[in-house]
Amino acid sequence: MACRPEAKMSDSTPAPKHIFRKDGELVIKGPDGVVKGAFDIEIAESEEALQTGLKFRESMGPNQGMLFIFDGRQSYGFWVQDTYISLDMLFINYENKIFYIAENTTPFSEDPIEPDGFNLYTLELNAGTCQKLNIQKGDTIEWKRTP
């Protein structure tokens, strides 16, 4: 499973490769309803998956992302300790509206990334995606699970 913690290994044992698991599909739309981007998403909602996230992953496809699902009753911050790739983090409220974006996070940083409101979701995409697709605060998401 892609979200399990790292197993203890000897120095000669290679680290396991994390394989993307497509749990759903997500689109980001501008205020005019025009789709800015479409992504396959891996969903993190169990306590273990929420804590592990994209840690130890060496890459993610250009149209892939991880959607974290919370209860939306508080502000859930992040840090990217043990995260090898730079990310764009989109914080999304209960109206599915992006209200805060942290672009181009620094891999392995322990500095907290705190949204300025309560997030029901956080979407992690490859760094540079927001700039490339002109994703901004006020854009909305629509997503669905895939069987």
The residues spanned by each domain of the chain are 24-145
State which residues of the chain have pLDDT below 50: 1-11, 13
pTM score over 0.85: yes
Residues 6 or more apart from 30 whose CB is under 8 A from it? 36, 134, 136, 139
Closest CA to 83 of 109, 117, 45: 109
Burial class (CB in 10 A: 0-12, 13-18, 19+), 8: exposed
What is the reported pLDDT for 17? 66
Phi and psi torsions of 54, nearest 5°: -100, 15
Per CATH, domain 24-145 is 2.60.120.1140: yes
